[in-house]
Amino acid sequence: MKKDYKIIKGNKVHKTAIVNWDNIDIGTGNIFYPYSVIGTDAQHSYDNTYGKLVIGNKNIFREFCTVNLPTKKKKLTLIGNNCLFMTMSHIGHDCTVEDNVVISNNVNIAGNTYIMKNSQFGLNSIIHQDQVVGSYSMIGMGAIVGKKIILKPGYIYLGSPARGIAINKVGLSRNKVDKKILKKETKRFEIIKKNA
């Protein structure tokens, strides 16, 4: 299996992975597993692809994961650091994914969604375009997040349509997030939401 990978720009890339190196600014230590497709054109019915995909360091893109280039809306699709994109997950055009985000198998993140740090997405969850997902939040397995749902930092969201059911005590504790930090992240969430 090791022979099927090459080191390209400090990143481990499987020979079947499709990476659009011409339109990516990338860090190091990223791993692209078999058949991941990174940096292809935006999936948009009328807007053309425009801009760059920026990827930080130490992200994992598992089999059949897809990440799209942006449109003129933001001219940037951004992936931070230390994120895990599991098999068949999708990140749409103009999305921002901050650090330490876990996106499970078959999760679909529609275009122009902003995902704040340390959030987690359960299997088969779906996020409507133009959403903002609060930091330290957990989106439950199979949850459907519509346009009008507000995803505040530090909560667990379940169901179809998704609704906040409880504080994400485990996630907050694991990340050593106290009330002061959560309040700061909530303010940051409100600013991002206002400007989205």
Q: Are 171 and 100 in contact (CB under 8 A)?
A: no
Instruction: Please tell me the distance from the alpha carbon of residue 63 to that of residue 14, in angstroms, as a whole number.
Output: 10
pLDDT digits (tens, 9 = 90+) for 130-177: 999 999 999 999 999 999 999 999 999 999 999 999 999 999 999 999
Strand order in the sheet with 108-109: 18-19, 37-40, 66-68, 90-91, 108-109, 126-127, 144-145
Domain count, the chain: 1
pLDDT digits (tens, 9 = 90+) for 84-116: 999 999 999 999 999 999 999 999 999 999 999
CATH number of the domain where residue 154 is located: 2.160.10.10
pLDDT of residue 51: 95
pLDDT over threshold 90, residue 196: no
pLDDT of residue 8: 97
Q: Which residue has the higher pLDDT, 60 or 44?
A: 60
pLDDT over threshold 90, residue 195: no
* Residue at 136: amino acid letter: Y
Instruction: Please tell me the distance from the alpha carbon of residue 128 to that of residue 145, in angstroms, as a whole number.
Output: 6
pLDDT of residue 47: 86
pLDDT over threshold 80, residue 1: no
> What is the span of the domain harbouring residue 166?
2-195
Q: Are 54 and 79 in contact (CB under 8 A)?
A: yes
Instruction: Enter the pTM of the model.
Output: 0.96
In DSSP terms, 150 is beta-bridged to none
pLDDT of residue 101: 98
Q: Residue 71 carries which DSSP code?
A: B
Q: Are 166 and 138 in contact (CB under 8 A)?
A: no
pLDDT of residue 179: 95
